Structure 1
Amino acid sequence: MRKTAGDPKATDDPRLAAGAETSSAVRLDDVAVRFRTKKKDVTALQDVSLDVRAGEFVAIVGPSGCGKSTLLKLVAGLLAPSSGEVLLGGERVRGPRRDIGYVFQRAALLDWRTARRNILLQAEMRGIPGAEARARADDLIRMTGLGGFEDAYPHELSGGMQQRVALCRALLHEPPVLLMDEPFGALDALTREQMNVELNRIWRETGTTVLLVTHSIPEAVYLADRVVVMSPRPGTITETIDVGLPAERSYATTLATAEFGAATGRIRELLGAVSAHE
């Protein structure tokens, strides 16, 4: 079931002009995840089907424990489905994937390495030639506003800057798909808003497909093309909301639009109904 909030995205969106609307970057077909604890069998995900277009930004929201992070692990190949199929770029995911980027809630930077060297750790692990990696790191540092802080150590950086470094590290190898698991959850409200604006701009500039897990409904709607709303465990997709906003979005203006209000209202309605049912 799909609920549309506002009109569909305009067809002159430059990310769709190259045919992104027809190519699938991530696909989950009737996926379930089951595991056994010491006391009982648990179904984490059930009957999950999702098709994410190349260049699309999809946010995933739902109650705690509904399997949002588990879904990202499936896409990354860190977890195998108990049934169903996961495809990345049309290829079945059979194990850990090196062609994705992953950003977690904590930046997980190495204290003894500068911002630039934390970013370049990705190149060392992947064997990317030094000159190519440094040029790419410089581009990302400029793109994320880290200029002037590239030689700073993590303890000299704010939480928001540390997450920018983590984002640069995840993007260094130009992954076609970026997975983000509550990346701004530990930030203060103002820094989180600023990071939302930066992420929207970076997404538009890179054209990377993004799957974002978040507990913030406004964050999900501001950033995403579509918002996937999940049910309590066993997690399944309750509804997918088409946001209906242009790719380029100023923060204050977007939050005042009818499309933003309709989408956030519908998601709250769905999650409120879930809470009442519980």
Structure 2
Amino acid sequence: MRMPASSPAAQAPVQMDTCVEIEDVAVRFRTKRKDVTALHDVSLSVAAGEFVAIVGPSGCGKSTLLKLVSGLLKPSKGRVRLLGEDVGGPRRDIGYVFQRAALLEWRSARKNILLQAEMRGMPSATARERADELIAMTGLTGFEDAYPHELSGGMQQRVALCRALLHRPPVLLMDEPFGALDALTRENMNIELRRIWRETGTTILLVTHSIPEAVYLADRVVVMSARPGTIDELIPVDLPLERDYGRTMSEPGFARATGRIRDLLGAATSAD
């Protein structure tokens, strides 16, 4: 028997522990020369507090996926839900970290972090207290009054991360945030991000081109195909919650996950 549209079972509400729901999404763009399908039939469910990494060939729609969740882009087909609500436009309750820190050169580290509070109209005392908490959490103590040109690339990204977390977002979107850093700094930022995620419980979606980074950080890794992007496979990461960086690299679960992802991306590259 077909249920009426008003039936609770027919509406199939998102479960309370589901934070992000992407259902049969497609994204198409029209250029001067042709129509381009960036994403095709993408479905993904992310639980509250989960860390999900997204990897795939260049141009497969990884960043587009984040824009859909943030409401900066609308799907051509399907729907996106955040915290049980349809995403119909830009969401103010998320945090976003990009590859470039995009700090204001004339503002100190603390004032760059507090820019988020000014834009949101947060109570100043609450914002300052939260900024101090994040500065301590990210190892920026002693650099609060430094200007961007006085900070290393890793420190600038720490400031950007603090700014994104200032309003305690339930979801943090990260688009290749460590791609411009040197290898050692990137490893240190991976360790810091993993620790901060454990301490805050924020749901994180991370786009990265680094397979080891994805596996070290995430609970699951989304492997996308070449354009038009779709999800080839969801790889569960069989590693302990507490992860020592060096020891993790020698874990059998790490080798299995990275090997499977490389197999999938190798197939995607040859098919492209």
Aligned with residue 149 of structure 1, among 116, 127, 143: 143
Aligned with residue 51 of structure 1, among 45, 55, 77: 45
Q: Which runs of 4+ in 1 moved over 6 A?
A: none
Q: Which amino acid aligns with 2:101?
A: A
Residue 22 of structure 1: how far off its partner (Å): 6.5
* Alignment partner, residue 92 of structure 2: 98
Q: Which amino acid aligns with 1:146?
A: L
TM-score (norm. length: structure 1):
0.92
* Alignment partner, residue 155 of structure 2: 161
- Give per-residue Cα distances to partners, 1:87-135, cap 9 Å, x unaligned: 0001000000000000000000000000000000000000000000000
Question: Identity of counterpart residues, as a percentage?
Answer: 78
Q: Which has the higher contact order (CA 8 A, sep 6+)?
A: 1
* Alignment partner, residue 240 of structure 1: 234
Q: Which protein is bigger by CA-based radius of gyration?
A: 2
- Give per-residue Cα distances to partners, 1:25-55, cap 9 Å, x unaligned: 1010000001100000010000000000000
**Distance in 1 between the 2:270 and 2:29 partners?**
27
- Give per-residue Cα distances to partners, 1:33-88, cap 9 Å, x unaligned: 01100000010000000000000000000000000000000000000000100000
**Distance in 1 between the 2:238 and 2:197 partners?**
17
* Alignment partner, residue 216 of structure 1: 210
Gaps of 5+ in 2: 1-14
**Distance in 1 between the 2:79 and 2:271 partners?**
30
CA contact (8 A) 1:176 1:208 kept: yes
Secondary structure, aligned partner of 1:27: strand
- Give per-residue Cα distances to partners, 1:174-200, cap 9 Å, x unaligned: 000000000000000000000000000
CA contact (8 A) 1:57 1:209 kept: yes
Q: Which amino acid aligns with 1:271?
A: L
- The size of the alignment, in residue pairs, is 258
- The aligned runs of 1:114-129 (5 Å cut-off) are 114-129=108-123
**Distance in 2 between the 1:211 and 1:38 partners?**
32
Gaps of 5+ in 1: 1-20
Q: CA RMSD in A?
A: 0.8
* Alignment partner, residue 133 of structure 2: 139
* Alignment partner, residue 82 of structure 2: 88
